[in-house]
């Protein structure tokens, strides 16, 4: 009998984790263009920038930007190397992503797009965030939807914030 190998990033959970991190909120300074990430809305704690309160940056759906940019994802790696690959195709030069944020069960990851030639990022997952039902690579996106609750945020400079929930399911597997 072959001994099963457990990677250091592999989830040890026996059931799907709950989304425990609070809703993520992004704030925008209309003066200098700075963006700030927060986790709760309280009037007394809205960030200040350029001597004024920052505005909440409302996330829009991918369809609202489909003429400018196409954004997609896939779950890769199986049990031991679980990761999310986010990729995009720019249709309009003004719609280049500035950064991408992946909200997970326990927190999130932020990556800045510094290379304009780049068209994908891989977000490595560990612990509860790496929980999967099967070892398929890439994920079959079955009815279990093990990453339901994850959200991808893509910020396009001066164009807005896109939110893509990871709840897709394929019926043909």
CATH of the domain at 161: 2.60.40
> Residues 133, 113: one domain?
yes
Question: Looking at residue 157, what is its pLDDT?
Answer: 82
CB atoms near residue 137 (< 10 Å): 17
The least confident of 35-49, 106-120, 132-146 is: 35-49
> Residues 71, 26: one domain?
no
- Label residue 171 by pLDDT band (50, 70, 90): low
pLDDT tens digit string along 31-89? Answer: 998 899 988 766 668 899 998 999 999 999 999 999 999 999 999 998 888 999 999 99
> Residues 136, 67: one domain?
yes
Number of domains in the chain: 2
The least confident of 39-43, 115-119, 164-168 is: 39-43
Question: Looking at residue 52, what is its pLDDT?
Answer: 92
For 32-50, the DSSP string reads: T--EEEES---GGG--EET
> Residues 64, 83: one domain?
yes
Angstrom CA distances, 56 to 25, 37, 63, 139, stand at: 7, 10, 21, 34
Residue 31 is assigned to a structural domain of this protein = yes
Listed in sequence order, the residues at least 6 apart from 62 whose beta carbon sits closer than 8 Å to its beta carbon are 70, 71, 162, 164
Q: Which of 65, 49, 64, 56 is CA-nearest to residue 97? A: 65
> Residues 74, 142: one domain?
yes
Q: Which domain holds residue 42?
A: 22-57
> Residues 45, 113: one domain?
no
Residue 52 is assigned to a structural domain of this protein = yes
Question: Looking at residue 80, what is its pLDDT?
Answer: 85
Question: Looking at residue 112, what is its pLDDT?
Answer: 95
> Residues 108, 35: one domain?
no
> Residues 99, 140: one domain?
yes
Residue 8 is assigned to a structural domain of this protein = no
Residue 105 is assigned to a structural domain of this protein = yes
Residue 74 is assigned to a structural domain of this protein = yes
Tell me the whole-structure pTM to 2 decimals. 0.88
> Residues 82, 145: one domain?
yes
Please tell me which of 109-113, 124-128, 158-162 the model is most confident about, judged by mean pLDDT.
Answer: 109-113
Residue 170 is assigned to a structural domain of this protein = no
Residue 1 is assigned to a structural domain of this protein = no
Q: Distance between CA atoms of 20 and 13, rounded to whole angstroms?
A: 14
């Amino acid at each position: 009998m072959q001994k099963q190998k457990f990677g250091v990033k592999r989830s040890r959970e026996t059931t799907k984790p709950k989304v425990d991190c609070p809703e993520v909120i992004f704030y925008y300074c209309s003066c200098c263009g700075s963006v700030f990430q927060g986790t709760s809305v309280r009037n007394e704690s809205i960030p200040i920038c350029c001597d004024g309160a920052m505005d909440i940056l409302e996330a829009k759906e991918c369809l609202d930007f489909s003429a400018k940019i196409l954004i997609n994802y896939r779950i890769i790696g199986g049990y031991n190397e679980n990761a999310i690959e986010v990729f995009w195709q720019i249709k309009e030069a003004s719609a280049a992503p500035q950064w991408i944020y992946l909200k997970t069960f326990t927190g999130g990851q932020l990556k800045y797009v510094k290379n304009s030639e780049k068209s994908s990022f891989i977000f490595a997952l560990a612990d509860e965030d790496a929980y999967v039902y099967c070892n398929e690579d890439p994920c079959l996106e079955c009815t279990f939807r093990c990453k339901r609750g994850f959200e991808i945020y893509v910020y396009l400079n001066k164009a807005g914030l896109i939110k893509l929930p990871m709840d897709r399911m394929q019926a043909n597997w």
